[in-house]
Amino acid sequence: MAKKLMKGCEAIGEAAIHAGCRLFFGYPITPQNEIPEYMSARLPQVGGMFVQAESEVAASNMLYGASGAGCRVFTSSSSPGISLMMEGVSYMAGAELPVVIVNIMRGGPGLGGILPSQSDYFQATKGGGHGDYRVLVLAPSTVQEAADLVIDAFDLADKYRNPVMVVGDGLIGQMMEPVEFKKTIKPEELAEKPWATTGCAGRERNVINSLYLDPEQLEKHNWDLYAKYQSMAAEVRHEDYNTEGGCDVLIVAYGTVARIAKTAIDQAREKGLKIGLFRPITLYPYPAEALAKAALGAKAVLVAELSTGQMVEDVRAIVAGRRPVAFHGRVGGMVMGPDDLVAEAEKLVAVPA
């Protein structure tokens, strides 16, 4: 299939269709409106259904219902809207329902602004709603990768019967890059979901529920979920860039910031400074072992995020004092430039560890 030049948001929508998803429930919010706009045009063309709900809370409960009925379902929103959906996400985690949620993050807290941000890292990777749960979190850094990961997200959601979140920022959503869709799954080709509520004629009744009033049962349910989240460790993904043979400074960054880091690496090379990049692609589960290995190959670690410091807490826990870990963050929709990252890296090598 020939490459097309597409906006990240449109590519995300098209990828969901290629994944065999035919249902979208959502509510508009900038900067991801191109996703529902695209789905509202495309889904009817392929026999699907687009519903603009009356609110994000309603949309998330529609996802719960449709997923419970065994369908591949999808929504997208941006930070404040994702917060509103958290009721449904927690219930879907509790009822073990697969769903794909895209968060095109914007600056917060509250309504914040509409410009790029990575300040929902905690919300995405530590649960987000109430209760003891996790969702798989994928962080693309190109439009192509956004398309690939959205398709994978549907498979992962079904595999683990769990919500999967794809986090990008306004840059990934608004940017155009060439993209191709590497596979096309027809809904009728999808594996049956024997647990779904599809009508129980001739079989035992299936129940989709997150209510466990018996504490012993609920404790067992929680430990079962915990074991499932532990088993997701098999899905870790990351990219090493310019780290072969070690480096002076290892930048740890994801999404858009990782791209800025790659440009910084080229600039630093001209100055004789070797910067490497560790880019987590799964933010939950976090590629901890690979990060530890890359960090030990560097003299110092620099975590760069569009937040006041969220992922850096995980990085510090993994590096565990074996290397100095510095942080550089921009917030409010401001984005660091490659020069800023080179300057921060230079500071780290100038000061003896």
Kindly list the residues in this chain that would bind another protein in the complex (CB under 8 A).
3, 5, 30-31, 114-115, 170-171, 174-178, 256, 259-266, 335, 337-339
Q: Which of 129, 127, 141, 137 is closest to 169 using CA atoms?
A: 141
Q: How far is the CB of 20 from another protein (least distance, A)?
A: 28
CA–CA separation, 179 and 11 (whole Å) = 7
CA–CA separation, 90 and 128 (whole Å) = 8
CB nearer to another protein: give 125 or 141: 141
Q: How far is the CB of 193 from another protein (least distance, A)?
A: 38
CA–CA separation, 343 and 345 (whole Å) = 5
CB nearer to another protein: give 60 or 144: 144
Q: How far is the CB of 113 from another protein (least distance, A)?
A: 9
Q: How far is the CB of 338 from another protein (least distance, A)?
A: 6
Q: Which residues pair with 76 in a beta bridge?
A: 102
CB nearer to another protein: give 62 or 345: 345
Q: How far is the CB of 337 from another protein (least distance, A)?
A: 5
CA–CA separation, 230 and 65 (whole Å) = 27
Quote the tokens at residue 208: 């989709």
CB nearer to another protein: give 232 or 277: 277
Quote the tokens at residue 164: 């999967």
Quote the tokens at residue 32: 């991801």
Q: How far is the CB of 270 from another protein (least distance, A)?
A: 10
Cβ(271)–Cβ(298) under 8 Å?
A: no
Question: What string of DSSP letters covers 90-136?
Answer: HHHHHTT--EEEEEEEB--STT--SSB--TTHHHHHS-SSSSS---E
Quote the tokens at residue 60: 């998330």
CB nearer to another protein: give 15 or 264: 264
Cβ(16)–Cβ(23) under 8 Å?
A: no
Q: How far is the CB of 150 from another protein (least distance, A)?
A: 19
CA–CA separation, 160 and 218 (whole Å) = 19
CA–CA separation, 290 and 281 (whole Å) = 12
CA–CA separation, 60 and 74 (whole Å) = 10
Sign of the CA dihedral with 12 first, then 61, 161, and 90 last: positive
CB nearer to another protein: give 51 or 175: 175
CB nearer to another protein: give 210 or 267: 267
Q: How far is the CB of 323 from another protein (least distance, A)?
A: 24
Report CA-CA distances (Å) from 206 to 97, 200, 224. 13, 7, 19
CB nearer to another protein: give 259 or 274: 259
Q: How far is the CB of 11 from another protein (least distance, A)?
A: 13
CB nearer to another protein: give 3 or 220: 3
Q: How far is the CB of 272 from another protein (least distance, A)?
A: 18
Mark 164-183 as b/e (b = at least 16 C-beta within 10 Å).
bbbbbbbbbbbbebebebee
CB nearer to another protein: give 58 or 342: 342
Cβ(87)–Cβ(131) under 8 Å?
A: no
